[in-house]
Amino acid sequence: MIHAKEIRVLDHDKNLLGILAPADALAMARQRGLDLVEIAPLATPPVCRIMDYGKFLYELHKRDHEAKRHQKQVHIKEIKFRPKISVHDYAFKMKHVLRFLEEGDKVKITIMLRGRERSRPELGFQVLERILENTKEHGRQDGQTRKQDWAVSALLVPVKVGGKDAKAKVAPGSPEEVQGHGQKEGDA
């Protein structure tokens, strides 16, 4: 139901028919075998279009479906560490963390504490601080660090740096970084 005294009327090809009374516009729409659909109710005067309402709903649904299809899905990936992790295992897992962040996914870092490690949660916090330091160029911490009885966890969200042409960096502590550490291109 259109409550305005005057409405701006468009035909099905979006050509302006003029400013008419709603009753006249509705009669014109019925004469053509179509519906009068209010497109912009907040405009002055409100904009209405003579069209097939079923087709309008179909196109609206189709447009919404396409918009949802093209949205980037953000997934939360979880990587688990231990307080006494070896250098190679740390580098291997850090590669995955950095890859997930570069792909635009959120990463949940969990430091699992077992046995006596539960009485020393600061070991988990140290590993977590090391991870956060090594990922600060690719991601930032979202929210607070969480301490549970058996784990310490934090959520990392990706930081947009550069575009598609941004060069991938070597994971800190990785064998490639350790191997080339301290050497310049001219040194051999």
For the CA atoms of 172, 176, 178, 184, the dihedral, rounded to the nearest 10 degrees, stands at: -110
| Contact between 94 and 170 (Cβ < 8 Å) | no
Model confidence at 180: pLDDT above 70: no
Model confidence at 63: pLDDT above 80: yes
Number of C-beta neighbours around residue 126 at 10 A? 14
- In this prediction, residue 168 carries a pLDDT of 47
Model confidence at 110: pLDDT above 60: yes
Instruction: Identify the residue with better confidence: 169 or 14.
Output: 14
Model confidence at 33: pLDDT above 70: yes
CA 157 vs CA 15, 104, 106, 116: distances in Å = 48, 8, 5, 31
Q: Which helix (H) or strand (E) holds 79?
A: strand 76-81
Model confidence at 162: pLDDT above 70: no
Q: What percent of the chain has pLDDT over 70?
A: 85
Report the alpha-carbon distance of residue 37 to residue 34 in Å, rounded: 9
- In this prediction, residue 71 carries a pLDDT of 78
Q: What percent of the chain has pLDDT over 90?
A: 53
Instruction: Please state the rounded mean pLDDT for residues 74-100.
Output: 93
**What domains lie within the chain, and their CATH numbers?**
1-53 (3.10.20.80), 76-162+169-179 (3.30.110.10)
What integer best gives the mean pLDDT of the chain? 84
| Contact between 74 and 106 (Cβ < 8 Å) | yes
- In this prediction, residue 153 carries a pLDDT of 92
| Contact between 30 and 37 (Cβ < 8 Å) | no
